[in-house]
Amino acid sequence: MIALTRRYAFPAAHALRHPAFSEEENRRVYGKCANPGGHGHDYGVEVTVTGPVNERAGRLIDPALLDEIFEENIRSRFSHRLLNDDPIFRERVPTAENLAEVIYAGLAEPVAERSTARVVGVRVVETHRNAFAYGDYGEPG
């Protein structure tokens, strides 16, 4: 199996607050990240795809196509925005864990429709200490 991982970045802000929690519970669960004003990150995103290599082109997917799909479906939607304002985060807290899952879901169908590749993983790097992966990475351990 061959896989390609492509790296992207975009700045965005979020406030980690669950609408069903009291102010005190939000502060207990999310600490300073529960600040109603939010805070920002320069998110790094790694998208991993796999599939058959096109014998003629010698490529799994044209990287420019993957870039285009990422731009259309992810960066244009989330870059320079407060994630809490996006409808997808109305019912879920915009943690980096949830962001990784949302990005995966947002790329899986367009990649499959426009190529023979399939998305197998998305890794969101939130800070120099925190990175979160979603996809077919196997069992942790």
22-55 pLDDT tens trace: 999 999 999 999 999 999 999 999 999 999 999 9
Decide if 28 contacts 17 (C-beta within 8 A): no
Active-site option among 33, 46, 71, 97: 33
Active-site option among 23, 72, 80, 109: 80
Active-site option among 14, 41, 101, 126: 126
Whether residue 91 lies in the annotated active site: no
Which residues are CB-contacts of 127 (< 8 A; sequence separation ≥ 6)? 41
Whether residue 39 lies in the annotated active site: no
Which residues is 40 bridged to in the sheet?
Answer: 13
Crossing angle for the helix pair 63-70 and 96-114, to the nearest 10 degrees:
130
Whether residue 72 lies in the annotated active site: no
Residue boundaries of the structural domains of the chain? 3-135
**In this predicted model, what pLDDT tens digit does every residue of 89-131 receive, in sequence order?**
998 999 999 999 999 999 999 999 999 999 999 999 999 999 9
Check whether domain 3-135 has CATH 1.10.1060.10, yes or no:
no
